[in-house]
Chain A
């Protein structure tokens, strides 16, 4: 530890170079955190699902509807404690056509009981249920457009034509940070009233008495509706959500490959710096050795320096990513919320430390092996 001062003063000696290396390591770890967060937010959208919920949809494809009559039939089945339903609305905000948010038409009387992860006061829920054209929006959506309770908000339907105006009657807060709050829920009855085809339900969400019975109950549901005009496919909420994630293609693999090359690229820069730093100091290292510094201490000093530089950069990069994405605050849909997870920070710092060690290893060994006589004579 007493050599730490030596390490630090060595770091300060070429300030520009140290700064550049710290900065580039910071960028490497920033990029790493960003890329990893793509993966973790994809996972998060799957992780927040409830094992006790299964999703019933039309077997042909999700875009085909199920009849409203299935609501009562599902409620009467064994092992099912609650049922609700919703339709994907797919609207765009005319004021921000490129913006992204999800909108669903939901059954007002049962929906929020099914989803306890959306925190609302009983008054908010009651206000929503009483008014046909009201809506409940998520925290992030409210923040995005500065919408408040009582505001009228308009969406242009892409599936259901026309402009639809809803009155905000509540803003829900998420129970855990991974819950998607870039969402708007409005009354299914309002949708049904205005659309040409009546009684069409997108999906049913079913709560099971026992999550362990998910497979059996799902099969039972599909069995009931088999050979009807509207056959169903029932799967756990997790599998349903996972379906969306896999639809994006092999994102995870791509992100992983790019991360590796990003880190490799920055590693080269770090190695280069350390080689140059050590080369400049050949004579100085020889002096240290002459003074009696053993080879392994020299080795450790060089390694300590490279690790310190890398950790400094890693720290800056990871924290920077955390702050930047917190401030930018975007997310929604399959990406849930784009939050840099604590694990990502830890992994990032470990990677930074490894980058430091690896970049220091070549110059450290050559410094340790340095022959005093040659070094003092050279340059």
Chain B
């Protein structure tokens, strides 16, 4: 016969100080783990959220990021008319040849230089990227030195308001709008007309080309068609795959650190749970003897003590999740080393991360509680009853 859970809950309230400390220990482990994972998740979200499976990014063969790539005008014109590319409302293909340059612009905080991506795009981009929304102002007009800045940059850089001017590539660029793209990496960029930017940055062609496919399934067909054309040396990949590859290095680095810290800390928390449960088992020797004498099986005593430890850790885990959730939305920034530019993103605590934290707490509780529970279930009835 199993012992009722209410027995465990009542027991937990008896040794309050010690249980509280053990639960707090578990809470801290879960909290730190959630923070680190949320950091990785936020970074990944900012990059991966940038890409979609039905948009393809074309770069020069061998290039691993847009910054290193180059696509000549001739190549762009050949690809533009390929049948896999969806036509826009005006009948022209939805293809945006782009230029990405890193500019040094002064930070709002101390004027020190920040590396910011400046992207030259074509007008097709507005139809291709419906996630783009203007926060204030308007779109840049083609053929001018007007630019739009990502809304988060507004607070991070100097002179980033609508109507102000930024100076780079030896000329002034007038800001006419601020835009948002739902938290993706484009928000850390400055956009202007690619045809104005090519001469301004002393380039003679584009760097990459993004095209809207008729469907995600057309990617393979486009790849085959481009591969078959001897004039083209282009790498075709879905935008999603590109940004996933860009984020994987940093994300796995952060996750690796998070896991190492969480696992090492969890040993401490387990030691705490172990200590607490051992003390509980020792103090309740007579009680355990009584339970066994009453006919409760050794198995149910074992289960009862493991359950008690797991309950304790769930309490800690829930507290840890709550504490961990505090960072959700906190914005931070780092450099996307693949493009060598700043990337603003926010900590993102997802339900999956919280679930993982809770699961981790349960595992800690179960492992930490098993040994004491085992000892409790092995007690000899006569001796336990005699114990003081």
Q: What CA separation (Å) do A65 and B172 show in the bound complex? A: 21
CB distance from B335 to the nearest CB of A (A): 4
Q: Residue-by-residue, is A255-282 near B (CB-CB < 8 Å gives 1, otherwise 0)? A: 0001001101110110111011001100
Q: Number of B residues whose C-beta is below 8 Å from A?
A: 54
A265→B278 contact, CB < 8 A: no
B169 within 8 A of A: yes
Tell me the residues in window 1-52 of chain B with beta carbons closer than 8 Å to chain A beta carbons. Answer: 17-18, 21-22, 24-25, 28-29, 31-32, 35-36, 39
Chain B residue with minimal CB distance to A231?
B170
- Interface status of A1 (Cβ within 8 A of chain B): no
Q: Who on chain B is nearest to A30 by CB?
A: B264
Identify the interface centre among A31, A156, A265: most chain B CB within 10 Å of its CB.
A265
Beta-carbon contact of A261 and B340 below 8 Å: no
Contacts of A59 in B (CB 8 A): 104
CA of A248 to CA of B43 in the docked complex: distance in angstroms? 12
Contact indicator A16/B278 (Cβ below 8 Å): yes
Q: In the complex, what residues of A have CB within 8 A of residue B62's CB?
A: 156-158, 161-162
Check B103 for interface membership: any CB of A closer than 8 A. Answer: yes
In-complex Cβ contact of A31 among B169, B261, B335, B340 (8 A): B261
User: Min CB distance, B24 to chain A, in Å?
Assistant: 5
- Chain B positions within 8 Å of A279 at CB level: 279
Q: Across the two chains, which residue of chain A brings its CB closest to B23? A: A268
Give Cα distance in the complex from A62 to B101, angstroms.
Answer: 11
B332 CB contact (under 8 Å) in A28, A31, A35, A250: A250
Query: B83 contacts the other chain (Cβ, under 8 Å)?
Result: no
| Residues A268 and B261 in contact, CB atoms below 8 Å apart | no
Contact with B along A283-311 (1 / 0, CB 8 A): 00000000000000000000000000000
Smallest CB–CB gap between A23 and chain B, Å? 6
Task: Give the residue of A31, A62, A156 whose beta carbon is less than 8 angstroms from that of B265.
Answer: A31
One of B131-139, B141-149, B213-221, B267-275 contacting the partner: B267-275
Q: Are B265 and A265 in contact (CB under 8 A)?
A: yes
- In the complex formed, the residue of B with least CB distance to A158 is B64
Known interface pairs A59-B104, A258-B32, A379-B388; A272-B22 also in contact (CB < 8 Å): yes
Decide: A261 and B25 in contact? CB cutoff 8 A.
Answer: no
**Complex Cα spacing A233 to B267, Å:** 50
**Do A247 and B335 form a contact, CB below 8 Å, given A23-B271, A27-B264?**
yes
| B127-166 interface with A by 8 A CB criterion | none
Kindly identify which residue among B64, B112, B115, B269 contacts A265, using a CB–CB cutoff of 8 Å: B269
- B367: Cβ under 8 A from any A Cβ: no
Could you say which residues of chain B place their CB within 8 Å of the CB of A158? Answer: 62-65, 68
Q: Is B168 an interface residue (CB 8 A)?
A: yes
A60 touches B169 (CB 8 A): yes
**With an 8 A cutoff between CB atoms, is B334 at the interface?**
yes
Tell me whether B18 and A61 are in contact (CB under 8 A): no
Question: Is A327 part of the contact surface with B, judged by Cβ < 8 Å?
Answer: no
Chain B, range 244-287, C-beta contacts under 8 Å to A: 260-261, 264-265, 267-269, 271-272, 274-276, 278-279, 282
Instruction: Enumerate chain B residues within 8 angstroms of A337, measured Cβ to Cβ.
Output: none
A276 contacts B18, C-beta separation under 8 Å: yes
Establish whether residues B101 and A268, one from each chain, have CB atoms under 8 Å apart when the complex forms. no
Q: Which of B276-306 contact A (CB under 8 A)?
A: 276, 278-279, 282
- Chain A residue contacts of B102, Cβ below 8 A: 61-63
Q: Taking A268-B24, A269-B271, A272-B275 as contacts, is the C-beta distance between A262 and B169 under 8 angstroms?
A: no
Do residues B272 and A269 form an inter-chain contact, with CB atoms below 8 A?
yes
| A159 interface hit (Cβ, 8 Å) | yes
- Assess whether B182 is interfacial by the CB under 8 Å rule: no
Judge whether A187 is part of the interface by a CB distance below 8 angstroms.
no
| A17 at interface, CB cutoff 8 A | yes
Q: Is the CB of B271 within 8 A of A262?
A: no
Is B269 within 8 A of A269, CB to CB? Answer: yes
Contact of B32 among A162, A243, A265 (CB under 8 A): A265
CA A233 to CA B22, docked complex, whole Å:
55
The answer, yes or no, to whether B329 is at the interface (CB within 8 Å) is: no
Instruction: Give chain B residues whose Cβ lies under 8 Å from the Cβ of A264.
Output: 28
Contact of B271 with A21 in the complex, beta carbons under 8 Å: yes
A17 neighbours in B (Cβ, 8 Å): 275, 278
**The residue from A62, A156, A269, A271 contacting B268, defined by CB atoms under 8 A apart:** A269
Question: Measured between alpha carbons, how far is A263 from B317 in the docked complex, in Å?
Answer: 18
**CB atoms of A24 and B22 under 8 A apart:** no
* Distance between Cα atoms of A266 and B276 in the complex (Å): 14
A279–B342 Cα gap in the complex (Å)?
Answer: 55
User: Are B104 and A273 within 8 A (Cβ)?
Assistant: no
Contacts of B199 in A (CB 8 A): none
B115 adjacent to A247 (CB under 8 Å): yes
Question: Given known contacts A158-B68, A258-B35, is B264 in contact with A269 (CB within 8 Å)?
Answer: no
Contacts of B108 in A (CB 8 A): none
Name A35's closest neighbour in chain B (CB-CB). B261
Q: A24-B267, A27-B264, A276-B275 are in contact. Are A62 and B340 (CB under 8 A)?
A: yes
Verify B334–A268 contact, CB threshold 8 A: no
Q: In the complex the two chains form, what is the Cα distance from A175 to B245 in whole Å? A: 37
User: B50-84: which residues lie under 8 A (CB-CB) from chain A?
Assistant: 60-65, 67-68
Q: What is the CA–CA distance of A273 and B25 in the complex, to the nearest angstrom?
A: 12
**In the complex, are the beta carbons of B28 and A265 less than 8 A apart?**
yes
Complexed CA–CA distance, A31 and B265 (Å): 8
- Minimum C-beta distance from A254 to chain B (A): 8
| A179 to B272 CA separation, bound complex (whole angstroms) | 41
In the complex, which of the residues B22, B63, B275 has the most CB atoms of chain A within 10 Å of its own CB atom? B275
Most chain B CB within a 10 A radius of its CB, from A30, A34, A61, A62: A61
Q: How far apart sit A273 and B278, CA to CA, in the bound complex (Å)?
A: 11
The answer to whether A271 touches B63 (Cβ under 8 A) is: no
Complex CA gap A14/B229 in Å reads 77
B91-123 CB mask vs A (1 if < 8 Å, else 0) is 000000000011110000000110100000000
Q: Determine the residue in chain B with the shortest Cβ distance to A246.
A: B112
Which residues of the other chain, B, contact A162 by a CB distance below 8 angstroms? 62
Contact of A262 among B67, B261, B340 (CB under 8 A): B261
Task: Please list 10 pairs of residues, one from A and one from B, whose beta carbons are closer than 8 Å in the complex, sorted by A's number.
Answer: A27-B264, A31-B265, A62-B115, A229-B202, A231-B170, A265-B29, A265-B268, A268-B24, A268-B25, A269-B269
Please name 5 further chain A to chain B contacts, defined as beta carbons within 8 Å, in addition to the given A20-B275, A21-B275, A249-B334, sorted by A numbering. A156-B62, A249-B332, A266-B268, A272-B25, A276-B18
Shortest 4 CB-CB contacts between residues of A and residues of B: A249-B334, A265-B28, A269-B272, A24-B268
Q: A-side interface residues toward B, CB under 8 Å? A: 16-17, 20-21, 23-24, 27-28, 30-31, 34-35, 59-63, 90, 156-159, 161-162, 229, 231, 233, 243, 246-250, 254, 258, 261-262, 264-266, 268-269, 271-273, 275-276, 279-280, 379
